[in-house]
Amino acid sequence: MVLQVERAIVAYDGRPVLDRVSLSVRAGEVVAVLGANGSGKSTLVKASMGLVPLADGEVRLFDTPLRRFRGWHRIGYVPQRVGAGSGVPATVAEVVAEGRLARRGFLRPASTADRRAVDEALSAVGLADRSREPVSVLSGGQQQRVLIARALAGGPELLVLDEPTAGVDAVSQELFAGCLRHFVGQGGTVVFVAHELGPLRPLITRAIVVNRGEIVHDGAPPETDNDHVHPHAAAA
Amino acid sequence: MNIFAYDFMIRALLGALVTGASAPAIGVYLVQRRLSLIGDGLGHVALTGVGLGLLLHSSPVLMAVLAAAAGAVVIELVRERGRTSGDIALSMLFYGGISGGVVLVNLSDEQSSRSLVTYLFGSPLTTSRQDLTVMLILGAAVLAVAFLLRPWLFAVCHDEEYARVSGLPVRTLNLILAITTAVTVTVAMRAVGLLLVSALMVVPVATAQQITRGFRATMLAAVGLGLLVSGFGVWLSTAIDTGPGATVVLLAIAGFFVVTVGAAAVRATRGARRRSGALPAESPGTPGAAGPLDLAGDAHAGA
């Protein structure tokens, strides 16, 4: 099992966000986690990565309890994008190089393999020619592709993406779908949080719908974006 | 006039250069994390260490390192918890630190306010041979951490969540950064003083990032600028008989404005040429891409 969540409870300031949620993901699956804003879908993914503490329950990654898990290079994580333009400029290549740190020994200089992996990841997302530019001049969709390249650069087995298509232009969405198809074709496993499926729909093997901190659907992907999945968010 | 014929001038200059290189080298991480004014707070806390050192007749520099490091660890723990009450806790720490320092110095044998001013605003010309040795060792340690740990510290400061999922020792790296900042404050105490140290951590970085495209380039340019303004500032302060620390900081700020205006002029010229079709259009920027001038506002909000 690649990812297992068992009876997980997460609470923010005493308010339950996830209520005894259980979920298992096998190798090769492409799982979409759907739900309205505030349903707990992002929290589910963050808790799976150990970014949010569990009040109760357990998370296992690659059959290892989270607190003993050390194989982080097997995971490629794409956080929700929150304006990549931070205080100090960073080039596209510098950000993508972060993706190699899980594999690179501490205090070791970057190897040829590290640099090649960064170049390949950038080619995969169609940004090979932008590597020396500051991330802040890229469009929102391009910045999202930088974060995906960063996750791919480490050569992961499991890709975990939090709202990878939110506010992303059509070209970037198509490119992203192509990247995922390639990744899955090589035996990779994908779990991603989304508001709407768009061009990703044909790739999905399974959909999970979260509502008020509970999983209310686990199985075939919904037919359209406008059905029971997130009635209130359809307009968005 | 060759003012560098005197040993004390050479020591002052070397001390200023060590500060000029190490403060921006660590400051670039603080600016990245939007904690620009943390150095200022640690300077306040370090004064209590100075006071303790004078009172107990032990080394004020050593005690300042210890006090600032302890303060840095407390700040990091407050930041990690992300509490809204953290703001108040930091205020207590900073103002308690500076008041404690003043009272302790008053209680010590060196109760004169002259020695207080020395620590608050620096006095590079009184750098002793021993002071300089300590500064060189601590400065080398700061530079080693800032340059050798760059990929890891950058990852933690740029995207802490991602660093966690990469399995990096995030808390250890944060504490290393906090303690190194404390050491930098103490290194700079002699050259620019505890009240002005933060300026050398922030202003060269703010200046450099207007013309650089990447993190590494910003770091190197900021260190270059830091060396330039501190070296030239010490020379100028002797020539026109002004406070060295304040002169260095004013030069750094002047540099910031010159570069800001220059960069804006270059952008405007390029914009005009692009509109007339001479240059290809740039890709669209994003609202999230903070202009360098946003820095000052964020710095005050963030500290």
Model pLDDT for residues B245-255, shown as the tens digit of each residue: 999 999 999 99
Q: Can you give the pLDDT at residue B301?
A: 35
> Which of A87, A133, A142 lies closest to B213 in CB terms?
A133
SS3 A125: coil
Q: Is B287 exposed, middle or buried (0-12, 13-18, 19+ CB in 10 A)?
A: exposed
Of B193, B199, B159, nearest in space to B24 by CA: B199
Q: Can you give the C-alpha Rg of chain A in angstroms?
A: 17
A170 close to B (CB below 8 A): no
Model pLDDT for residues A56-70, shown as the tens digit of each residue: 999 999 999 999 999
Q: Is A203 in contact with A177 (CB distance < 8 Å)?
A: yes
A197 close to B (CB below 8 A): no
Taking an 8 Å cut-off on Cβ atoms, the answer to whether B286 and A133 are in contact is no
Q: What is the Cα–Cα distance from B196 to B215, expressed in whole angstroms?
A: 24
Grade residue A82 by pLDDT with cuts at 50, 70 and 90: low
Residues 67-126 of A with CB under 8 A from B: 70, 72-73, 75, 77, 79, 82-91, 93-95, 97-99, 101-102, 104, 106-107, 110
Q: Best residue in A3, A61, A88 to probe B by mutation, most B CBs within 10 Å?
A: A88
Q: Nearest-CA distance from B82 to chain A in Å? A: 13
CB pairs under 8 A between A and B: 121
Q: Can you give the pLDDT at residue B117?
A: 87
The mean pLDDT of chain B is: 86
Q: What is the Cα–Cα distance from B205 to B223, expressed in whole angstroms?
A: 8
Q: Is B177 exposed, middle or buried (0-12, 13-18, 19+ CB in 10 A)?
A: buried
Q: Can you give the pLDDT at residue A235?
A: 39
Q: Can you give the pLDDT at residue B282?
A: 46
Model pLDDT for residues A46-57, shown as the tens digit of each residue: 999 999 999 999
Residues of A in contact with B149 (CB under 8 A): 107
Mean pLDDT of A3-13: 92
Q: What is the Cα–Cα distance from A193 to A80, expressed in whole angstroms?
A: 9
Mean pLDDT of A72-77: 96
The more confident residue out of A230 and A194 is A194
Question: How many other C-beta atoms lie within 10 A of the C-beta of residue A172?
Answer: 22
Statement: residue A224 has pLDDT above 80: no
Model pLDDT for residues A202-218, shown as the tens digit of each residue: 899 999 999 999 999 99
Q: Can you give the pLDDT at residue A225?
A: 55
Of B221, B302, B287, nearest in space to B255 by CA: B221
Statement: residue A16 has pLDDT above 50: yes
Q: How far apart are the first and last CA of chain A?
A: 34
Of A214, A169, A114, A8, nearest in space to B283 by CA: A169
The CB-side HSE value for A148 (13 A sphere, CA atoms) comes to: 29
Model pLDDT for residues B43-96, shown as the tens digit of each residue: 999 999 999 998 998 888 889 999 999 999 988 888 887 766 667 878 888 999
Q: Can you give the pLDDT at residue A12?
A: 85
Residues of chain B with pLDDT under 50: 281-303
Strands A56-61, A64-65: parallel, antiparallel or unpaired by DSSP? antiparallel
Q: Which residues contact B173 (CB under 8 A, 6 or more apart)?
A: B149, B152, B153, B156, B163
Grade residue A182 by pLDDT with cuts at 50, 70 and 90: very high
Residues of B in contact with A158 (CB under 8 A): none
Q: What ipTM is given for this predicted complex?
A: 0.91
Q: Can you give the pLDDT at residue B276?
A: 76
- Residue A209 has φ and ψ, to the nearest 5°, of -110, 125
Q: Is A170 exposed, middle or buried (0-12, 13-18, 19+ CB in 10 A)?
A: exposed
